[in-house]
Every structure is written in structure tokens, then in C-alpha cells.
């Protein structure tokens, strides 16, 4: 994800009002009080994870969607204030395990949803890669009409592997029920995690 996006492509197929909402959202959560283009700005320090508020491996975030999808494209956007650089990632959705987005357009029916992810330069060994297939947890943001990335597990080779800092934390603490499973075991494990029961015969959202 180091290939720059041409400026004119930032707003392709995105209305000015939607782009403005996305820019506002990421500027509000920016860790840089000054433009990233200034020397010494945008420095992010590491830290520990406090999950006492939510001990579940699948984060209980607002408007949650849990799904598998393949990373098929992206574009990076620098906000007008230059305080935030974020990436919009296009996914080919394959299976939806939960859709609590209240978005009016179920994830399972829309190939190519946009997920927005901040700070694509951070910890490349723990970041999603083009062409890979993942289990994603994301939350729908009505203002800006996008999905905010929460966690991911790489399932490209048929084995579930933590690929986000929080997911890796669960692995390191010996608290993961998902890491190292085969993809064929995911449906049962997620049904237990999300609903506390075995999966239906016809999994919801199966493509």
C-alpha cells in the first residue's frame, strides 16, 4: 500500500458531501495536531491494549459487520487539513456472519463495499495486504457512508491468522478462539462467539 493515489482519483465516484464527512471523521481522530506534511508530525507511539471494557475477541462495536472478503483495491486520501492520511479499501465480500449495520444495504448484497482505514503506514507486518482474503470486523458509519475497520484475520492460505494488533493481543495472551483454526472451522467458531450456538444449516450471507 505504498503506491500513491493520484489526486484526481481521491474523489472519483464520491460526492463532495460524503468526502467532506469522511475527511472530518478522520481529522477528528487524528493523532497529529499539525499537518502531516510538516517535519516531525504524525508520530505515533505504541501502547498496550486495555480490553477490560470488552473482553470478547470479536469487538462489540456499533453497527457491526463480521464477514470474509478479499482485498481487491484501494486509494489513499490526504485530508484538506493534511492532519490525516487514510486509505479506502475495496473488498469482494464472500460470506457474512453478522450484519448489524442498520445501513439499509446489507453487506452480503453489495460486492465492493468501502472500508476506511487510518494510518496505512503503521506496522506493515500487522496490516492487510492487497490480494489477500480476510475475516473482518468493521463498523458502519452513516456519516460518510463507509465501514470503519476494527480487526482482521488473514485466511488466505486456509488457516486463520491474526493480522491486527488487537487480534494478535488475544493470541499472545492465550485467549484466542479463532487463531490457527482452519477456514472450514470458522462458521462454527463464529456462531458460538457471536450467538452462543451452533451455526444454521445454511449460513447467513453465504455467497
* Residue 107 pLDDT level (bands cut at 50, 70, 90): low
Mean pLDDT of 26-37: 83
Give the CATH number, domain containing residue 107.
2.40.50.140
Write down the pLDDT at residue 120.
43
Look at residue 195 and tell me if it is in a domain: no
* Residue 8 pLDDT level (bands cut at 50, 70, 90): low
Look at residue 103 and tell me if it is in a domain: yes
Give the domain extent around 132.
7-30+55-157
Look at residue 191 and tell me if it is in a domain: no
Mean pLDDT of 68-80: 90
pTM: 0.80
Provide the number of structural domains found in the chain: 1
Return the HEC string of the chain: CCCCCCHHHCCCCCCHHHHHHHHHHHHHCCCCCCCCCCCCCCCCCCCCCCCCCCCCCCCCCCCEEEEEEEEEEEEEEECCCCCCEEEEEEEEEEEEEEECCCCCCCHHHCCCEEEEEECCCCCHHHCCCCCCEEEEEEEEECCCCEEEEEEEEECCCCECEECCHHHHHHHHCCCCCCCCCEHHHHHHHHHHHHHCCCCCCCCCCCC
Amino acid at each position: 500500500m505504498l503506491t500513491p493515489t493520484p489526486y484526481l482519483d481521491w474523489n472519483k465516484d464520491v460526492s463532495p458531501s460524503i468526502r467532506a464527512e469522511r475527511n472530518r471523521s478522520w481529522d477528528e481522530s487524528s493523532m497529529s495536531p499539525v499537518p502531516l506534511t510538516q517535519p516531525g508530525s504524525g508520530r505515533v507511539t505504541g501502547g498496550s491494549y486495555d480490553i477490560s471494557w470488552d473482553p470478547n475477541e470479536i469487538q462489540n462495536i456499533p453497527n457491526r459487520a463480521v464477514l470474509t472478503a478479499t482485498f481487491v483495491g484501494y486509494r489513499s486520501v490526504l485530508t484538506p487539513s493534511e492532519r490525516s492520511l487514510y486509505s479506502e479499501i475495496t473488498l469482494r465480500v464472500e460470506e457474512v456472519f453478522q450484519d448489524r449495520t442498520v445501513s439499509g444495504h446489507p453487506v452480503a448484497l453489495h460486492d465492493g463495499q468501502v472500508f476506511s482505514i487510518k494510518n496505512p503506514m503503521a506496522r506493515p507486518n500487522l496490516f492487510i495486504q492487497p490480494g489477500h482474503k480476510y475475516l473482518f470486523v468493521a463498523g458502519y458509519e452513516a456519516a460518510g457512508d463507509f465501514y470503519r475497520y476494527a480487526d482482521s484475520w488473514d485466511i488466505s492460505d486456509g488457516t486463520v491468522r491474526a493480522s491486527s494488533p488487537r487480534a494478535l493481543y488475544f493470541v499472545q495472551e492465550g485467549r484466542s478462539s479463532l487463531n490457527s483454526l482452519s477456514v472450514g472451522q470458522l462458521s462454527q467458531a463464529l456462531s458460538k462467539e457471536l450467538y452462543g450456538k451452533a451455526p444454521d444449516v445454511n449460513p447467513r450471507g453465504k455467497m
